[in-house]
Amino acid sequence: MSGALKDATIRVERPAKTLRELALDKVREAIVNGYFRPGDRLVERDLCAQLGVSRTVVREVLRHLESEGLVANLPNKGPIVALLDIEEAKQIYEIRGALEGMAARLCAERGSPEIVAALEESLTAIRNGYRDQDMAVVLANTSSFYQTLFTRVDRHVAWGVVNLLTVRINHLRSMTIKTERRGIEGPMQMSKIIDAIRRGDGEGAQRAAMDHVAAASAIAEAVLSAQKPAE
């Protein structure tokens, strides 16, 4: 028997997502998209019925989301959707501003038309998502926009750092993108980043990226200040 045939007979194919992974994706998406709001109680019995899974699966999902910072387990109350902390949010935006500003500057210095084209493609999809009121499309293509900024200039470590914060960033994003005029101002600010990159203006690209993050941070702070736990 040849080596290739032996390898083929013992190869382990990766199965499709487990029920737990599917349930985790659904609950995480429901939190990020605002179906469950900060302060809402997450009752195991209700989640079992809504998801069509066992209580064991629901408990595993809630524990995982607690490790991501999306769920808090309160004494005498049980699991709730975590209330986002203003100071924590500020630190997340500080990290974003520094890293995204750096990536935008490097993209401008690279002078690649392919980078500009990829960013414009994501921005077009973001605008279409706002037009269609499809926030899932907006979130997905916003992530794609920033992935392009980092990975096209080989800043994979920095992108990895951003990815560690992705769930919390998207939770914040899910609030800021729904605020008044964000569907107009957000894409305009992102367009300024692209324009500076197209011109090869590294300083301008860095400033535009940091200005965009600063605007999002100010909106998030206002939203979080007004946020109250559910009774």
Per-residue pLDDT of the chain in tens (231 residues, 90 and over written 9)? 555 545 556 665 665 778 899 999 899 888 877 788 878 899 999 999 999 999 999 999 999 998 877 888 888 889 998 877 888 889 989 999 999 999 999 999 999 999 999 999 999 999 999 899 888 888 889 989 999 999 999 999 999 888 777 777 777 777 777 777 788 899 999 999 999 999 999 999 999 999 999 998 888 888 788 765 544
pLDDT score, position 42: 94
User: How crowded is residue 136: how many other Cβ atoms within 10 Å of its Cβ?
Assistant: 12
The kind and range of the H/E element at 221 are helix 202-226
Coil/strand/helix, residue 71: strand
Report which residue type is found at 85: D
Handedness of CA 66, 136, 152, 94 (dihedral sign): negative
pLDDT recorded at residue 85:
80
159 burial level (CB within 10 Å; 0-12, 13-18, 19+): buried
pLDDT of residue 220: 83
Q: Which alpha helices (H) appear in 33-85, and where do they start and end?
A: 44-51, 55-67
Rounded Cα gap, residues 141 and 127, in angstroms? 10
Q: Where are the beta strands (DSSP E) in 27-138?
A: 71-74, 78-81
CATH 1.20.120.530 placement within the chain:
86-227
In the chain, DSSP assigns E strands to 71-74, 78-81
Kindly report the length of the chain. 231
Residue 12: the pLDDT is 56
Topology given in CATH for the domain delimited by 19-81: Arc Repressor Mutant, subunit A (1.10.10)
Distance of CA 115 to the CA centre of its chain: 21
Superfamily (CATH) of domain 86-227: GntR ligand-binding domain-like (1.20.120.530)
Q: Count the Cβ atoms, other than its own, within 10 Å of residue 16.
A: 7
**DSSP tag of 16:** S
The type of residue at 131 is R
Whole-angstrom CA distances from 107 to 142, 169, 172, 199 are 17, 22, 25, 11
For the chain, state the CA radius of gyration.
20
User: What residues does CATH 1.10.10.10 cover in the chain?
Assistant: 19-81
In this structure, are residues 32 and 172 in contact, taking their beta carbons and an 8 Å threshold? no
